Amino acid sequence: MKKTIILALLLIVTGFGNAAFGQKAKFGHVDLTAVMQALPEWTTSQAELQAKADELTKEGEALQSEFQKAYEDFQKKRGTYSDAVAKVKQKEVEDMYKRLQAFQESAQSQLTTKENELLEPIQKKALDAVKEVAKANGYTYVFDVSTQLYNSESDDLTDKVKEKLGVK
């Protein structure tokens, strides 16, 4: 919220500053997500990300199954163990559960890292094209519509950016 207010104030001050010097600020907006999704690299990256997610899901399901089996086995035989053996078996099950939780956290982190790794060059390519289109057409500011921070009087540059990238 603070960022939005600060950005709005910055735009107002900058707009007044430009007006004071006889310059008129030109505003545009772009749907950066639509631009990125139109790139062929997007489909490839999503397929690669899904493959990684499937791999981690399969591994997680195997760990979950192993834990479930150990837990059920412990519950069935719990009454037949001596106190010392029961404590050891319970500790084994608890450790297995902790490993399962750690794997789940690690898997989520791995997916986030992979997604960032795959999307960074796509985002850079799209942003570079936005900058080129903005500069070529004299735009002072270009906003991404996904931030919901654009003026209804701004020009939509999405198609121009896609054209610059050679995609539809």
Widest distance between CA atoms in the chain? 89
Structure tokens at 54: 């499937």
The beta-strand segments (E) located in 17-63 are: 27-30
Quick: pLDDT tens for 19-62.
Answer: 444 568 898 989 999 999 999 999 999 999 999 999 999 999 99
Q: Which domain holds residue 11?
A: 2-165
Amino acid at 114: K
DSSP at 71? H
**How many domains is the chain partitioned into structurally?**
1
Quick: pLDDT tens for 78-111.
Answer: 889 999 999 999 999 999 999 999 999 999 999 9
**Could you give the angle at which helices 158-165 and 83-136 cross, rounded to 10 degrees?**
90
Instruction: Work out the mean pLDDT of the chain and round it to a whole number.
Output: 85
pLDDT of residue 79: 86
Cβ-in-10-Å burial (0-12, 13-18, 19+) of 89 comes to: middle
Helices (H) and strands (E) in the chain — how many of each?
Answer: 5, 3
pTM of the model: 0.69
DSSP at 143? E
